[in-house]
Amino acid sequence: MKYRILAINPGSTSTKIAVYDDKENIFTKVLRHDPVELDKFGGIIEQYEFRKQLVMEAMAENNVDAKTLEAVVGRGGLVKPVSGGTYQVNEKMLSDLKDPTIWGRIHASNLGAFIADSIGKDFNIPAYIVDPVTVDEFEDLARISGIPQIERKSLFHALNIRYLAHLQAEKMGKNLEESNFIAVHMGGGITVAAIKNGKVVDVNNALLGMGPFSPQRAGALPIGDLLDMAYSGEYTKKELTAMLAKNAGWMAYLGTDSGIEVCDRIKAGDEKAKLIHDAMCYQVAKEMGASAAVLNGKVDAIIMTGGLVYGDLLVDEIRKRTEWIAPINLYPGEKEMEALSQGGVRVLKGEEKAHQY
């Protein structure tokens, strides 16, 4: 039996939707939203009825009867830390997703659970989220930062990375729970994850934390110099946060976060572009080496994914420093819609149980 799943992935000014019959994609569409129109709602959560209506209209336009759905899956937002897997949407989850004090903000991805829950109730089908960014499977050793006031936190590209770990284990004929991987997601931010027996036991904070710099983010910085910047009087906390999260890395050095542009500049002989590009690859490779140490050198495969993995120059630069660790498997781009739908399919087929939040 095939299971029909609606997957919903809200972004700040778009909502991406897809319908799958098991692994067969029926249709995928990106619904674009005017920021001015969204601002009229006064807050992110308040947008969910508006976005839900657009989702329903898009399904009708693509000849998908909502009554044929077996489940609806939304993108997991900033819930409290949870283990990886598929979670049934409940009132506690929705309450936490409305609370900006848990993570200091409300992200557009929080809408996924609200839209899924509403559609699920309308058609009496289960509503889920899958592998939110707050998946936390750290071993206790990984939480220690160096001072008691700060604990290392797990915040990363969990949806794409955990789904590709499923695919890689299947490709190798292994159970995920018996597999060790190093997974690297490379986009505007960069995640390097150590996966031990199917769990992400250590990972850099892919937004504002340790690890390599990226096309947009600063990564780990020398603490003394960062303190000097913070207390220089030149920046507010908001300005410095924006600089480190959105305007650092390639943006700061090269004025672009485009992998295509950087590679074109390198091929045209731009030595600075090559230096900064290679420095980022160097830092990624160092982090991968650290993940190999976390796994005691027992690594079944390396998984590389994200938009930057389309770039041969980047892959080759990282490969030459890391191919001694394990075979490298490339999954360019991202498979988030597939990941959402298959999280629901696995539960409906009884291959795994839905967690209760």
- If asked whether residues 215 and 244 sit together in one domain, one would say yes
Do the domain assignments include residue 331?
Answer: no
**Residue 82 domain boundaries:** 4-134+336-356
- Same domain, yes or no: 171 and 189: yes
Enumerate the β-bridge partners of residue 28: 18
Instruction: Say which amino acid occupies 320.
Output: K
Instruction: Report residue 36 as tokens.
Output: 């001015």
Residue 140 inside a domain? The answer is no
Q: What is the dihedral of CA 81, 188, 151, 131, to 10 degrees?
A: 20
184 and 66 within one domain: no
Label residue 289 exposed, middle or buried (CB < 10 Å: 0-12, 13-18, 19+). Answer: middle
> Looking at the domain assignment, is residue 183 inside a domain?
yes
Verify that 183 and 248 share a domain, yes or no.
yes
Give the pLDDT confidence of 39-63 residue by residue, as tens digits: 999 999 999 999 999 999 999 999 9
- Answer whether 260's CB lies under 8 Å from 273's CB: no
Angle at alpha carbon of residue 223, lines to 221 and 225, rounded to 5°: 85
Strands (E), 64-118: 71-75, 86-88
pLDDT score of 209: 76
- Say what the pTM is: 0.91
pLDDT per position as a tens digit, 84-105: 999 999 999 999 999 999 988 8
Residue 217 pLDDT:
95
Question: Are residue 320 and residue 340 in the same domain, yes or no?
Answer: no
- Distance between CA 276 and CA 282 in Å, rounded? 10
Whole-number pLDDT of residue 105? 84
- The region that residue 107 occupies, defined by phi over 0 for left and psi between -120 and 50 for alpha, beta otherwise, is beta
Do residue 20 and residue 84 come from a single domain?
yes
Domain count, the chain: 2
**Whether 123 and 158 share a structural domain:** no
Residues in the chain, pLDDT under 50: none
351 and 320 co-located in one domain: no
Among 224, 219, 178, 215, smallest CA distance to 198 is for 178
My answer on whether 246 and 352 are in the same domain is: no
CATH number for the domain harbouring residue 225: 3.30.420.40
